[in-house]
C-alpha cells in the first residue's frame, strides 16, 4: 500500500480534519510501504492571499501534524510547493481535463452558485490535486467524505491519460472511514473552516469548554427520549468515547430525563484529556523550529525524487521528453 494525503493550511486544524483524515494518516504510516503527507499551500493560495498568514499557517500545520503523531522516519512530510515536479505534472493533466468535469466539482460550483467570482486556480483545483496523488504512484488516499469527488476526478484523469498514452499512472482509491466521514460542527452542519463552526484541535481547554457548551441542540423537553444517532452532539461525543461510554450515553438518550448540559460536560472532559499529550508535544516542537524546518526539507527531497521519476515517465509517454 502506498499512501498519500494533503491538508490545506487555511486555518487552525479542527476535529473534522483529525477524525476524518489525520488520525488515519498516523495509523497508516505504520502499515504502508510508503506514506507521503503534505501541507497543500498551493491549494491554500486560492483562499489565503496574505503572505505572512500563509507562511505562518504552513508552519503551524507542520507543528500540528508532528505533535499529533506523524513520525518523519515512517512518513514523508513536506510542503506541496517544495516539489515543483507536481506543478509540471499538473499541466500535463490540465491539457486533457474536460471543462465539463471541472464545472461539476463542488468547490467551484458552490462558489459560483453563491454569486462569488471564481479564479482559474479554484477552477483547476482538482487537477492539481490529481497531480499531487499521481506523482507518487499512490494507491490509497485517506480523506473525509468531502474529498471523494476530487478523488473520482483524479481517477478519471488518470484513466484517460493511460488510455490515450498507454499505462502511465497507478489508479488511486479514496479511503474514507464511515464513522468519521463527516464530522459535524457546533451548528450540526459539516465542520468546516469556511462555515465558521469548528472546534480547533489545539484550542485552550477553557475556551474549548465554553465552545462545547455553546453547541446547538434541539429544544425538545429534557424528559423526552431521544434517538442518539440523529443527534450531532452524540456524534461528537462518540468520537472520543470508548464503546462502554458510548453505550451508556446512548441508553441515557433513549431513556430521556437528562439534559444536554450533561453530555456537553462529558464531551469536554474527554476531548481535553484526549488532546493533552499532543498539546505538550506541540509546545516542545514550537521551541525548536529549526528541527521542524529540517524535517520538511528532508521530506521535500524524498518526495521530489519520487515525483521526478513519475513526471519523467509521464513526459515520455506524451512526447514532451524525446
Ligand atoms: P482540507 O484541507 O479541506 O481537509 C483536510 C482533510 O480533512 C477532511 N475533513 C473532514 N473530514 C470529516 N469531517 C469534516 N467535517 C471534515 N473537514 C475536513 C478532508 O476530507 C480532508 O481529507 N483538497 C484537499 C487537500 C488536498 C489533498 C490533495 C487531499 C490537496 N491535494 C491530494 C488528498 C490528496 C482539502 O482541501 O482538504
End-to-end CA separation in angstroms for the chain: 32
Instruction: Say what the pLDDT of residue 117 is.
Output: 83
**Residue 149: which region, alpha, beta or left (left: phi > 0; alpha: psi -120 to 50)?**
alpha
7 lines ligand 1 (CB under 6 A): yes
Q: Which of 235, 250, 259 is nearest to 186 (CA)?
A: 235
Whole-angstrom distance, CA of residue 183 vs CA of residue 17: 8
Instruction: Say what the pLDDT of residue 259 is.
Output: 87
Q: What percent of the chain has pLDDT over 90?
A: 89
Whole-angstrom distance, CA of residue 76 vs CA of residue 38: 8
Count H helices and E strands in the chain, helices first: 15, 5
Interior/surface letters 87-122, b for 16+ CB within 10 angstroms, e for the rest: bbbbebbeeebeeeebeebebbeebeeeeeeeeeeb
Strand partners, 140: 3, 173
Residue with more model confidence, 109 or 29: 29
Whole-angstrom distance, CA of residue 149 vs CA of residue 126: 9
* Dist. CA 316 → ligand 1 center (Å): 32
Mean local confidence (pLDDT), 146-165: 97
Reported confidence tier of residue 112, pLDDT bands at 50, 70, 90: confident
Instruction: Say what the pLDDT of residue 111 is.
Output: 84
Task: Answer yes or no: CATH 3.10.100.10 is held by domain 2-182+289-318.
Answer: no
pLDDT at 68 over 80: yes
Instruction: Say what the pLDDT of residue 316 is.
Output: 98
Whole-angstrom distance, CA of residue 33 vs CA of residue 89: 23
Residue with more model confidence, 267 or 219: 267
Instruction: Please give the mean pLDDT across all residues of the chain.
Output: 95
Reported confidence tier of residue 107, pLDDT bands at 50, 70, 90: confident
Length in residues, the chain = 322
pLDDT at 116 over 90: no
Mean local confidence (pLDDT), 245-250: 96
Instruction: Say what the pLDDT of residue 226 is.
Output: 87
Mean local confidence (pLDDT), 254-278: 94
Residues of the chain with CATH 1.10.240.10: 203-274
* Annotated catalytic residue 111: yes
Whole-angstrom distance, CA of residue 25 vs CA of residue 147: 15
pLDDT at 30 over 90: yes
Instruction: Say what the pLDDT of residue 224 is.
Output: 85
What are the tens digits of pLDDT across the range 179-223? Answer: 899 999 999 999 999 899 999 999 999 999 999 999 999 877 777
Dihedral through CA 240, CA 243, CA 248, CA 252, nearest 10?
60
* Annotated catalytic residue 294: no
Mutate to test the pocket of ligand 1, among 105, 128, 143, 177 (most ligand atoms within 8 A of CB): 143
Instruction: Say what the pLDDT of residue 223 is.
Output: 78
CA 153 distance to own-chain centroid: 17
182 lines ligand 1 (CB under 6 A): yes
* Dist. CA 7 → ligand 1 center (Å): 6
Residues of the chain with CATH 3.40.50.620: 2-182+289-318
Class of domain 203-274: mainly alpha
Instruction: Say what the pLDDT of residue 278 is.
Output: 97
Q: Which three cell numbers stand for residue 259?
A: 439534559
In this structure, the number of other CB atoms found within 10 A of the CB of residue 57 comes to 20
- Strands of 34-39's sheet, edge to edge? 76-79, 34-39, 2-7, 140-142, 173-175
Strand partners, 4: 36
pLDDT at 253 over 90: yes
- Among the options 74, 111, 175, 216, which is catalytic? 111
Whole-angstrom distance, CA of residue 72 vs CA of residue 292: 10
Whole-angstrom distance, CA of residue 45 vs CA of residue 9: 9
pLDDT at 144 over 90: yes
Q: Which three cell numbers stand for residue 251?
A: 441508553
Amino acid at each position: 500500500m502506498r499512501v498519500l494525503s494533503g491538508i490545506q493550511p487555511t486555518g487552525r486544524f479542527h476535529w473534522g480534519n483529525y477524525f476524518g483524515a489525520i488520525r488515519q494518516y498516523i495509523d497508516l504510516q505504520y502499515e504502508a510501504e510508503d506514506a507521503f503527507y503534505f501541507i497543500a499551500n498551493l491549494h491554500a493560495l486560492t483562499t489565503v492571499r496574505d503572505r505572512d498568514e500563509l507562511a505562518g499557517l504552513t508552519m503551524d500545520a507542520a507543528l500540528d501534524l508532528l505533535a499529533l503523531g506523524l513520525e518523519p522516519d515512517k512518513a514523508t512530510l513536506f510542503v506541496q510547493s517544495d516539489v515543483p515536479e507536481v506543478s509540471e505534472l499538473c499541466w500535463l493533466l490540465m491539457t486533457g481535463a474536460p471543462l465539463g468535469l471541472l464545472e461539476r466539482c463542488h468547490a467551484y460550483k458552490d462558489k459560483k452558485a453563491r454569486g462569488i467570482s471564481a479564479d482559474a486556480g479554484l477552477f483547476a483545483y482538482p487537477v492539481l490535486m490529481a497531480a499531487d496523488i499521481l506523482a507518487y504512484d499512490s494507491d490509497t488516499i485517506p480523506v473525509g467524505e468531502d474529498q471523494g469527488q476530487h478523488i473520482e476526478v483524479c481517477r478519471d484523469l488518470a484513466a484517460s491519460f493511460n488510455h490515450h498514452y498507454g499505462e502511465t499512472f497507478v489508479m488511486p482509491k479514496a479511503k474514507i472511514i464511515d464513522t468519521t466521514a463527516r464530522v459535524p460542527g457546533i451548528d450540526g452542519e459539516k465542520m468546516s473552516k469556511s462555515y465558521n463552526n469548528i472546534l480547533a484541535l489545539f484550542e485552550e481547554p477553557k475556551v474549548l469548554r465554553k465552545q462545547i457548551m455553546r453547541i446547538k441542540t434541539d429544544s425538545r423537553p429534557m424528559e423526552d427520549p431521544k434517538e442518539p444517532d440523529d443527534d450531532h452532539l452524540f456524534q461528537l461525543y462518540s468520537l472520543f468515547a470508548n464503546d462502554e461510554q458510548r453505550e451508556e450515553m446512548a441508553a441515557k438518550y433513549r431513556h430521556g430525563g437528562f439534559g444536554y448540559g450533561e453530555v456537553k460536560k462529558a464531551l469536554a472532559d474527554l476531548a481535553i484529556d484526549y488532546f493533552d499529550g499532543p498539546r505538550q508535544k506541540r509546545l516542545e516542537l514550537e521551541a525548536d523550529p529549526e528541527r521542524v524546518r529540517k524535517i520538511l526539507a528532508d521530506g521535500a527531497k524524498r518526495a521530489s525524487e519520487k515525483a521526478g521519476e513519475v513526471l519523467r515517465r509521464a513526459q515520455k509517454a506524451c512526447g514532451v521528453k524525446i
